[in-house]
Structure 1
Amino acid sequence: MKKRFLSTKNTFTIAILWGLVLFLITMLVLNLTKGNIPVAPIIIISLVTAFILWVLLDTRYVIKNNFLLYRSGPIRGRVDITKIKSIKRFSGLNVPVMLKPALDTKGFIVTYNQFDDLFISPKMSDIFIEEIKKINPKIEVI
């Protein structure tokens, strides 16, 4: 059975990302109306805008068949829940983790395998922890 959790969203982060999207679209439209713009900048601006929109609209976590599946736009992966060692609550701008498929600065640092870490920010975090602990009760929640 699947359990889905959307990412919580930090207002400041969301405002910056949407502002960037609006700025890029405005720049694209203004340059297209002037004409004589090279194709390469149009493609680059369009791809960057699409990437940001994809991340904004598709960041979530799914618990399915003993795996934690995460996705944030094109960034996707899975973690074997039986190999999770600890889940630590974290809040702050400087998250000490390389992989951060999240839209908030408050969330969890999930430590699995020997040295692997992942930062996630699921809504309904208490239910999320309960569901993870059902699969692996040995997980240390810090």
Structure 2
Amino acid sequence: MLNQRRVFPSKRGFVIYIPLIIMVAIGGIYLYTGEYIALAVMLTVICAIFLPAFFDTWYAVSDTSLQVKSGLFHNKIIEIAAIKKIEDTRTIFSAPALSLDRLEIFYNKFDSIVISPENKAEFIRLLKDYNPLIEYVNKHA
């Protein structure tokens, strides 16, 4: 399995749709009240920040690294050998994850990142195949 790269899209939970619904509702109010500049600003925010993250959040596992990509601003590469532990979490803190069904990955000495791969079991299995020393803590079992 050397040099193979497997991409896992982010799971999309209902929570990710809430900001979009709110922004569309506010945009509708701006349209109804004739505030076209405010509407243009709102559409710009949606198109520039929200949509790229919504359509371009994924996690790629290769034989040596995990790449975490989310929208225009987040692209991180983590060495699989540096991963110490993976833990289930439902944290609401901002993360490159489109669902609250999340995994927190602990790596290096003090670093962590929260993600939400669509197929968590396969994602964890693949990482553990490359680094059997990774500890998995299932908090929801």
Q: Normalised by the size of structure 2, how large is the TM-score?
A: 0.79
Q: Are 1:48 and 2:51 counterparts?
A: no
Distance 1:34 1:24, change over 3 A: closer
Structure 1 unaligned segments of length 5 or more: list them. none
Residue identity (%): 26
Which is worse superposed, 16-25 or 131-140? 16-25
Asked if 1 retains the 8 angstrom alpha-carbon contact of 2:31 and 2:39, the reply is no
Q: Normalised by the size of structure 1, how large is the TM-score?
A: 0.79
Deviation at 1:43, TM superposition (A): 6.3
Q: State how far apart, in whole Å, the 1-side matches of 2:32 and 2:19 are.
A: 20
Cα deviation 1:74-127 (Å, max 9, x = unaligned): 22111111100100111x3445xxx61001111111000110010011011111
Q: What residue number does 1:87 align with?
A: 86
Which is worse superposed, 14-23 or 41-50? 41-50
Q: State how far apart, in whole Å, the 2-side matches of 1:104 and 1:128 are.
A: 15
SS at 2:77 equivalent: strand
Asked if 2 retains the 8 angstrom alpha-carbon contact of 1:85 and 1:139, the reply is yes
Asked if 1 retains the 8 angstrom alpha-carbon contact of 2:11 and 2:118, the reply is yes
Structure 2 unaligned segments of length 5 or more: list them. none
Q: State how far apart, in whole Å, the 2-side matches of 1:54 and 1:113 are.
A: 29
Size of the aligned set, in residue pairs, is 132
